[in-house]
Amino acid sequence: MRGIKLSKDSNVLKEGDKSFITIRNVPYTKLEIVKVVKTYWQTPMPNPKDLTQSIAATDPTTPYTFNFLVTLKDNAIVTPDGPVIGGNKIKIGLPIELEGYNYKFGGIVSDVKVID
């Protein structure tokens, strides 16, 4: 999830917690949060050592804007078209929302792994 704005540097998404997921605007269920990686919002800028390349730097104008990479876990039905949860094929690019007691964030699926 990109560009999430928080009023302070807090950890609203925690490993081991459950977050309610909505897939394609259809509520599904609570899923366990397995892993959370939070980074500050980055801005590309020219590399002073090599002007043909750019580097990503933390944007000082947005101190409370973050990117979250959240890993969720659920039991899925695996079909020839891929894993299915809640009647939805889970594929990269699928829009989802995560909702908890004090947050509701929108994002997209960026990776899908089937673990036996």
- Indicate whether 71 pLDDT > 90: yes
Size of the chain in residues: 116
- Indicate whether 108 pLDDT > 90: yes
DSSP calls for 59-89: -TT-TTEEEEEEEEE---EEETTEEEETTEE
- Indicate whether 9 pLDDT > 70: no
Query: What's the pLDDT at 3?
Result: 85
Q: What's the CA gap between 35 and 11, in Å, rounded?
A: 12
Query: What's the pLDDT at 96?
Result: 93
User: Which residue in this structure is represented by tokens 């990479």?
Assistant: 69
pLDDT digits (tens, 9 = 90+) for 13-57: 899 999 999 998 889 999 999 999 998 888 888 988 988 899 988
Query: What's the pLDDT at 2?
Result: 86
